[in-house]
Amino acid sequence: MSLVTDFRILRSPTEIEAFFWRIAPFVDAQGIRALVEHGPALTRIGSYEALVDRAGRTAAEEEITHEIARASNGRGLPQLILLPSGSLAVMGYFGRLEQQDKEKPVDTIIRVMICPAAPDQAAPMLAALAQALLGLRDCVGDKPGRAPLRGRREMAWPEAVAALFTRDAVEAAYNQLAEQRESTGVQRLTSRHRDVVEAHVRWFAERRKDDDESLAREKAAASTPKRAASPAMRTAGADVDMKLHIINMRQGELSDRGYFQTTESDVARIAAEARDWIAAGNGRRLVVYAHGGLVSEEDAVRYARDTVGWWLENDVYPVFCIWESDALTSILQLVRESLGGDRRGPFDWGEMRDAAIERLVHLLGQQVWDVIKRSAARCSADGRQFGLTLFAAKLNEAFGTGFPPIDLVGHSAGSILHLAFLARLRVEKIPVETLQTLAPAASCRLYADGLAAHGDVLKTRIYAMQDRFERDDNVMGLYGKSLLYLVSRGFEEQFGEPISGLQKDLLADRRLVGLLSNWSGGVTREAMVFSPTPPDAPKRLKSGAISHGAFDTDSETMWSVMALIRGDGDPDRITEFPKLEDSARGDSAHSPSFDLPEEVRTYLALARSGVPAGGTGSTDPAPAPSLPAEARQGRKLALTIGINDYDVMNRLQGCVNDSNIWRDLLLAQGYNVTQLIRGEETGRDQITRQLRDFVGQSAPGDSLVWHFSGHGMEIEGVVGDDNDAEIRGVDQAIVAANASETLTGQLSHAIMDDELHAILQGVNPQAACYVFLDSCFSGSATRFSVRGRKRSLGTLRMAGRSGRGRGLTAPINPGIRSAYDGTGHVLFSACSATQTAMEDGTPPQGLFTRAVRDLLQNPGATLSNANFCLRVNELIPGNDQTPGLYCDPSRRDLAFPLAGR
């Protein structure tokens, strides 16, 4: 699942008041009331105080907001989040007009989530909440009146929130603020606050535009003719309890995460409810639906909600398998970033680009795909902890010997899940009547083995695209063919593995075609539907899908699916499938944000450590092979960045050479190296994104190396005039490629120490991360010196700024807490905080990089981190550049990973 990153944080009562006052023109609601709830625990990232101590207030607020967004993904985000600092995160537009009917508007309810906090943080949080509630009145043009909270009967005050402040305390603070407003009016903004607030208001207005477009789509859908509800649907009611229709699994086992946390008792309830519902009508059936890959948990839940009514009104009880298969999306996005975005322009290189993508996908994603396939099979593995194995057992308990017809429908990778489930159902002696797969991603071999092992005559049908449409499809605007082509040529272990959902592979496999059409007496058109079908095709054999992700949302396809399930009879009794957007993202040009989610990290870790095969006994259709031993070892990953491209007066000459040296050194030691040296890939945004992605993929046992050669700079906060100036802290930064000529202009291209510390905290705590900075921060920006060229732009003194003093090379003194206490990375700097890093020679190189190269090119005894730093110092002549070691004290004597090889 991709996390929400587009939010805004209001960091003072003044900003909160001004923001709500100024968004009034963009709020359509006539009234807003707040539903107060308590946020999830922050155990995964630690307390607010610890985050502030490590990364500063700004980074801590953003980290907490990201974490709450991640934890809330399954049940929707709140509109406002109150942070422990007293800041308020606005997560999106919240001003839509709600109406019960055309004449009766009602108050819009927005969720205000109170972040877990310590008691001493209650006061600023209470003040901010009161200000936000007053702002909700302001933005709809109401007079202050009473605090706009949901009524006491409608909303129980959360106990965890009451430990910070009661509802009475909130209302009292609100009343006091409203009275103060009466006498003082709205506060005037300083120019700094005005710029910040206006930026937030523009963002809110843009979010309203997005919301209007979403509302227009909803209205268009609502204006389409409604299907006549069958008696079954009327008894089911308009609001279906999805807990009775969803089995949520993670790596095959019941999931205790997300909104739909499925327990053993939930599965028993599903089986019992299905039994009772089916017994209450004539000819009712049970279908088990499995979504494909590239589908997040949130999208899968949405699809289930949107379609559950259609199944029920057609006398079919649906059970949706949600098995969290979205890891491939992030792998594909990583490939997108590696290749610089979408296919575009007149020269996209066609097949050459696709071939490169196939190779990259194989290198980055083959093991993850293998784990996903095994996770699908594990859903039906031996043991009641596995979701579908437990479901089969509960069906046996609920139905006994009186089973209704059971049907299986799977899209894309869902076919792999169902082929394993088919074997489990045979073990449990549960009859299956139909198996229908939509653009199945299972290999032809796996599909044929699964059907052969089942033995019984089974109505089976594959829906696939004609090959020319497969070749006209695309994957995320990146790859110029369908997802199944990329599975065959990239994700599978063998290049060109025949895939059952590819027309060319399916028709070439005589064994599979024979097994598929066994039930139809060899009539293949009953067993294989290739879309788009011709106009004169029978309705029960039609499909209009022209992209991989369109099958399970295509009305013709889904009508055909239902026709095979319902069997012969009056076709008019099958209602039309609701109009939906494509559920999978494989055919979309949509570019999801790329911060590796926890789920993907789990898959990557499993790809290295191995997933238990969890077979279903001798009837398992195709147990996956074990991962090779080397795949279960930690990886060696490296990122090297060299920047020469600065303005004319500050241009460097040796940084790209440095990067080449580091690249060769690391490749020789078995590291998978990413190198960034071109101007278009070394801007500030590109570096931070690459660095976040780099550390975000870390897993236990990995060894990570990040090297940077380029300019640095120092920013001093100054209070007072030139004659009596007081320095209020110093910040350090590395500087991305740019052409700004002034030191002030460099600031927007600088990556500050706090931000770097925060990014590096994303390294998995069981991975090793080593950072090498061949740059410096102090000194003048003079271009030349006697010895060579300095890699510092100098010191920028900024009036009114207070630096945090958490520099990258701040001195570490015994007994005094430093910015590196508790950090997981080890940093080697080319020089101390008061020195300059130099480059010289022919070809130009950094003195630090040259010394590292000379040391590592002559293998010797194993060195500790501290000893390595001393040895590098010995190789740099003179005393005016002294490389430094910066890390948690416990890491100083650990073995340095690049020495003694």
User: Is 212 in a helix, a strand, or coil?
Assistant: helix
Single-letter residue type at 81: I
Give the CATH class of 636-891. Answer: alpha beta
Of 515, 507, 584, 574, give the one whose Cα is nearest residue 545: 584
| Residue 279 CA from chain centroid, whole number | 42
What CA–CA distance (Å, rounded) separates 167 from 157?
Answer: 7
Residue, of 294 and 345, whose pLDDT is higher: 294
Residue, of 631 and 144, whose pLDDT is higher: 144
Of the listed ranges 442-456, 667-681, 847-861, the least confidently predicted one is: 847-861
Which pLDDT does position 215 carry in this prediction?
52
Q: Please give the average per-residue pLDDT across 89-115, as a whole number.
A: 77
Rounded to the nearest 5 percent, the helix, strand and coil shares of the chain are 45, 15, 40
User: Exposed/middle/buried for 457, CB within 10 Å: 0-12, 13-18, 19+?
Assistant: exposed
Residue, of 427 and 890, whose pLDDT is higher: 427
What CA–CA distance (Å, rounded) separates 345 from 343?
Answer: 7
Q: What is the pLDDT of residues 105-119, one digit of tens each?
A: 578 899 999 999 999
Q: What is the pLDDT of residues 816-827, one digit of tens each?
A: 445 667 778 899
What CA–CA distance (Å, rounded) separates 463 from 501?
Answer: 7
Which pLDDT does position 435 carry in this prediction?
97
Q: Please give the average per-residue pLDDT across 593-598, as a whole number.
A: 41
- Dihedral of alpha carbons 490, 495, 499, 501, sign: positive
Which pLDDT does position 288 carry in this prediction?
98
CB neighbourhood size of 259 (10 A): 16
What CA–CA distance (Å, rounded) separates 170 from 134?
Answer: 11
Of the listed ranges 19-33, 220-234, 408-422, the least confidently predicted one is: 220-234
Domain parsing of the chain, residue ranges: 7-95+105-210, 242-335+353-569, 636-891
Q: What is the pLDDT of residues 370-418, one digit of tens each?
A: 888 888 999 999 988 899 999 999 999 999 888 888 999 999 999 999 9
**Is residue 838 within 8 Å of 847, Cβ to Cβ?**
yes
User: What percent of the chain is modeled with pLDDT above 90?
Assistant: 36
Which pLDDT does position 728 carry in this prediction?
40
Tokens (6 digits) for 525:
């058109």
Residues 6+ apart with CB under 8 A from 790: 776, 779, 780, 781, 782, 783, 836, 837, 838
Q: Please give the average per-residue pLDDT across 325-336, as a whole number.
A: 62
Q: 């202009």: which residue's tokens?
A: 745
Asked whether residue 799 carries a pLDDT value surpassing 60, the answer given is no
Asked whether residue 553 carries a pLDDT value surpassing 90, the answer given is yes
Which pLDDT does position 488 carry in this prediction?
94
pTM (predicted TM-score): 0.46
772 pLDDT tier (thresholds 50, 70, 90):
very high
Residue, of 270 and 243, whose pLDDT is higher: 270
Q: Please give the average per-residue pLDDT across 460-476, as a whole number.
A: 92
Residue, of 166 and 363, whose pLDDT is higher: 166
Q: Please give the average per-residue pLDDT across 733-759, as a whole number.
A: 81
Single-letter residue type at 160: A
Asked whether residue 665 carries a pLDDT value surpassing 50, the answer given is yes
Asked whether residue 468 carries a pLDDT value surpassing 70, the answer given is yes
What is the Cα gyration radius of the chain? Answer: 31
Average pLDDT, the chain: 79
